């Protein structure tokens, strides 16, 4: 490094001025990114959270924070903002004061970073305008900061010919200076390891397991192949064991539907079958609900054919079940009748229902509905007020005595 330190790095007054403004803007961007991260955290865990940026239906930072577009690889976009602005705050002083050669062309790379920031800003603004139809006030401030960042860096750049020469000199430095090359490779390695680690975490959530205790005995439920609604990283996971012919399951379905509408992406709902029919349930020696096994198979087929939610609504409110009526429901969902008929008789869906029943029996289930909420077992029907109270308590990390 001694050789590099002997090479003075000159910076003009004009360039210094623009870089200083960018540095001060980065403090502003960092502050808004931290606030957005706080909003993301609170919005997920507190259904009553009402920050100042939640102004109307069209301007609502909470709605944006709860959308699937607010995260990349399971990490809030604002956290990437913290990293980006923090990087600017760290690097710009080196360019202004350091005489080390590796910082001689820093503004060239800041220009590329600014282009990336603005590109992401345009994409997210487009999502708000055309998909969410809701805007985040603080996000919009960050978009403007990013645009100002790009304009200022453009003013700080030299001529295009000089920029190209700078990239060429830096590439030569990488080739000829082992210390710079090792440092660069280490940075790339750390970023790659962090990326792979986070990617694996996100994938693991899709194949998550929930643990609960039955008579002080741990029981683990796996739901990789089960139908689910809601994001994999939702703070509340509700596993419902249900029978389509159970009247209390129908009432519980209405409650869960209300909860999904109220709490949105804070809830992930996973469906498991426990048909009270000896045709497929070895725990019964009689047919309490005839054709509930058929309905369970049909729900799994609908899931495998990409029409689960619509089909589930039809099944849960059907007055009776027959293969003909179920095939009609499949047609209404746009599924080929013959394909659906073959699915109903396939060993795959029978195994899926069998696994659900085995899970229920390991939990000691004796009737439906039964819920497992973040590992807590809730037996029998609970009304909307009770369930709302429980969900809010769990979101806030509280326990409610007496819930069993």
pLDDT tens digits along 162-217 = 777 778 888 887 778 888 778 778 888 888 888 888 777 766 665 555 555 555 56
pLDDT of residue 112: 92
pTM of the entire structure?
0.75
Kindly report the CATH number that applies to the domain delimited by 2-160. Answer: 1.20.1440.130
**Calpha distance 300→227 (Å, rounded):** 8
Q: Which CATH architecture has domain 210-395?
A: 3-Layer(aba) Sandwich (3.40)
What lies within 8 Å, CB to CB, of 386 at 6+ separation is none
Q: Which residue has the tokens 């999502």?
A: 127
194-202: long-range contacts (C-beta < 8 A, 24 or more apart)? 195/73, 198/73, 198/74, 198/75, 199/73, 201/74, 202/73, 202/74, 202/232, 202/233
**Calpha distance 394→374 (Å, rounded):** 8
pLDDT of residue 221: 77
**Calpha distance 70→127 (Å, rounded):** 10
Q: Which residue has the tokens 């200083």?
A: 20
What lies within 8 Å, CB to CB, of 375 at 6+ separation is 210, 211, 212
282: burial class by Cβ within 10 Å (0-12, 13-18, 19+)? Answer: exposed
58: burial class by Cβ within 10 Å (0-12, 13-18, 19+)? Answer: exposed
**Calpha distance 308→152 (Å, rounded):** 51
pLDDT of residue 194: 81
What lies within 8 Å, CB to CB, of 228 at 6+ separation is 268, 269, 270, 271
Whole-Å CA distances, 393 to 44, 85, 266, 387, 403: 13, 35, 13, 10, 11
pLDDT in tens, the chain (404 residues): 444 443 445 678 888 999 999 999 999 999 999 999 999 999 988 888 899 999 998 999 999 999 989 998 888 999 999 999 999 999 999 888 866 777 788 888 999 999 999 999 999 999 999 999 999 999 999 999 999 999 999 998 887 777 777 788 888 877 788 887 787 788 888 888 888 887 777 666 655 555 555 555 667 777 778 999 988 888 899 999 999 999 999 999 999 999 999 998 899 999 999 999 888 998 888 778 888 999 999 999 999 999 999 999 999 888 778 889 999 999 999 999 999 999 999 999 999 999 999 999 988 888 899 999 988 888 899 999 999 999 998 988 877 655 55
**Four-point Cα dihedral 189, 232, 33, 186, nearest 10:** 0
pLDDT of residue 217: 62
For the chain, give every residue range classified as CATH 1.20.1440.130: 2-160
Q: How many CB atoms lie within 10 A of CB 316?
A: 19
For the chain, give every residue range classified as CATH 3.40.30.10: 210-395
Q: Do residues 150 and 29 lie in contact, with contact meaning Cβ atoms separated by under 8 Å?
A: no
pLDDT of residue 11: 79
**Calpha distance 390→291 (Å, rounded):** 33
**Calpha distance 397→107 (Å, rounded):** 46
Q: Which residue has the tokens 């870089």?
A: 19
């Amino acid at each position: 490094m001694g050789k590099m330190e002997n090479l003075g790095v000159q910076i003009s007054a004009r360039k210094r001025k623009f870089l200083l403004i960018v540095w001060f803007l980065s403090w502003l961007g960092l502050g808004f990114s931290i606030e957005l991260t706080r909003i993301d955290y609170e919005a997920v865990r507190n259904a009553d959270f009402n920050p100042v940026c939640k102004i109307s239906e069209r301007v609502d930072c909470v709605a944006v924070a709860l959308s699937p577009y607010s995260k990349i690889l399971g990490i809030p976009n604002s956290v990437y903002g913290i990293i980006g602005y923090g990087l600017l705050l760290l690097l710009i002083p080196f360019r202004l004061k350091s005489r080390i050669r590796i910082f001689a062309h820093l503004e060239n790379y800041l220009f590329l970073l600014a282009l990336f920031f603005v590109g992401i800003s345009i994409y997210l603004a487009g999502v708000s305008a055309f998909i969410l139809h809701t805007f985040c006030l603080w996000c919009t401030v960050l978009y403007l900061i990013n645009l100002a960042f790009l304009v200022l860096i453009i003013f700080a750049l030299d001529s295009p010919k000089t920029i190209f020469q700078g990239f060429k000199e830096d590439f030569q430095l990488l080739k000829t200076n082992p210390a710079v090359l090792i440092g660069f490779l280490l940075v790339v390695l750390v970023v790659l390891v962090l990326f792979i680690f986070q990617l694996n975490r996100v994938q693991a959530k899709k194949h998550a397991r929930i643990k609960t205790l039955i008579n002080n005995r741990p029981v683990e439920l796996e739901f990789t192949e089960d139908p689910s609604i809601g994001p994999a990283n939702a703070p509340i996971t509700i596993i419902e064991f249900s029978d389509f012919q159970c009247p209390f399951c129908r009432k519980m379905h209405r409650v869960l539907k209300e909860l999904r509408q109220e709490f949105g992406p804070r809830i992930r709902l996973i469906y498991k079958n426990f048909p009270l029919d000896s045709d497929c349930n070895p725990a019964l020696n009689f047919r309490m609900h005839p054709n509930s096994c058929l309905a369970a198979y049909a729900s799994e087929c609908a899931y495998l054919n990409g029409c689960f939610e619509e089909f589930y609504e039809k099944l849960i409110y059907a007055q009776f079940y027959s293969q003909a009526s179920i095939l009609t429901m499949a047609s209404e969902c746009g599924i080929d009748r013959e394909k659906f008929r073959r699915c109903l008789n396939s060993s795959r869906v029978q195994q899926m229902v069998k696994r659900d029943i085995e899970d229920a029996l390991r939990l000691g289930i004796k009737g439906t509905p039964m819920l497992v909420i973040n590992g807590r077992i809730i037996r029998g029907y609970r009304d909307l007020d009770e369930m709302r109270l429980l969900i809010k308590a769990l979101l806030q990390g509280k326990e409610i005595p007496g819930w069993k």
